Chains A and B, each alone.
Chain A
């Protein structure tokens, strides 16, 4: 059985890199979390979330610090978004959470603008100040309306979401 020692080794290597690929796809790309030491959960309510999806990034100054968790409709018919951010962060109580778009037509994500309050948010707290997503069609519609252009081309350019 001499030739099997080398074969066994290669099979082992194969399984390792195969599992590595599987793990990479699952965790890194697919966003599977292994429920480790819990992140820093926060909540925010928005009138309009646009196309924000769970797992979308949460950023501060452009740097990803967490991701969006669940999105549910709250009792007051606003969207209640769960955020899971880096536990080592200090987030002042007057921080604003806005839903912004990557590029013009890209994916939505949540951007936090830190306030200056000395009081910090604790896990489970709700962010008081929020800015909803901007819906492009509404903006164009308003623009068109305000400019007083009647009928014609501009309205026909509303995009189908």
Chain B
């Protein structure tokens, strides 16, 4: 029993130490972002790897989630005779919550783990040391394009997820359930307010992008130089980033809604 409590204590301690180390890491990253060279070519490459290659999973998942929302939403609303509001229900759910959160989680699993594995492998094969020995800062050359790429890409992926979801809801509500298309759209449009909902949605996506970008690159950078180390870095990236997204989601929702 005491062993379990001890373990918990160590976990908490390690967490705090980790947090401190990650903050220092974030500081170095920020410094590298603000100083030349710009590394545009590498940044564009990362936008391709993190964004373009995530398009399929994002759009398919968005469509599926939208369709489920449409179905569940309709079945529930119809009990109150409020099925006209399906557009609003689907839209608000997607825009406020499901878009940024699910896009964030999916991207963590796909692109976040890939980034951590990539950087971790570079540590294991001494490529990062090689870069240091050539008088180049690995944080500037390796970490910066990847972290910034993730931050840049996330709001777009979230928006695409939402649009596909709205379409999915439309397909189910209008195509299958027989709602009027105009009613769906006008319910959607009148319920969604740019300043509150849409801006809040992008804000979340941006914050989630920062979270995943930081966690993935940090875990990769500090991976132990063995294959077990790389594997651990990858799994811990997915776990830590996912949980962080969900926790931050609550706080942003609470604060933004004020």
The reply to whether A and B meet directly (CB within 8 Å) is: yes
Question: A: which residues have CB within 8 A of B?
Answer: 4, 7-8, 10-11, 13-15, 17-19, 21-22, 24-26, 28-32, 53-57, 64, 102-107, 109
Complex alpha-carbon distance, A64 and B185, angstroms: 12
Q: Given A18-B160, A106-B84, A107-B190 in contact, is the A29-B91 Cβ separation under 8 Å?
A: yes
Complex alpha-carbon distance, A32 and B166, angstroms: 18
Give chain B's interface secondary structure class. Answer: helix
Q: Given A14-B55, A26-B194, A30-B197 in contact, is the A103-B84 Cβ separation under 8 Å?
A: yes
Q: Which of B137-177 contact A (CB under 8 A)?
A: 155-157, 159-160, 162-163, 166
Q: Which of B7-38 contact A (CB under 8 A)?
A: none
Known: A31-B192, A106-B82. 20 other contacts (CB 8 A): A10-B48, A11-B44, A15-B156, A18-B156, A18-B157, A21-B159, A22-B155, A25-B162, A25-B192, A26-B194, A30-B193, A31-B189, A31-B194, A55-B190, A103-B82, A105-B82, A106-B84, A107-B88, A107-B187, A109-B190
Complex alpha-carbon distance, A106 and B80, angstroms: 11
Count B-side interface residues using an 8 Å CB cutoff.
38
The digit string for B62-93, where 1 denotes a CB below 8 A from any CB of A, is 00000000000000000011101100100100
Report the nearest B residue to A62, measured CB to CB: B182
Cβ-defined contact, B84 with A102, below 8 A: yes
Q: Which residues of A contact B163 (CB under 8 A)?
A: 21, 24-25
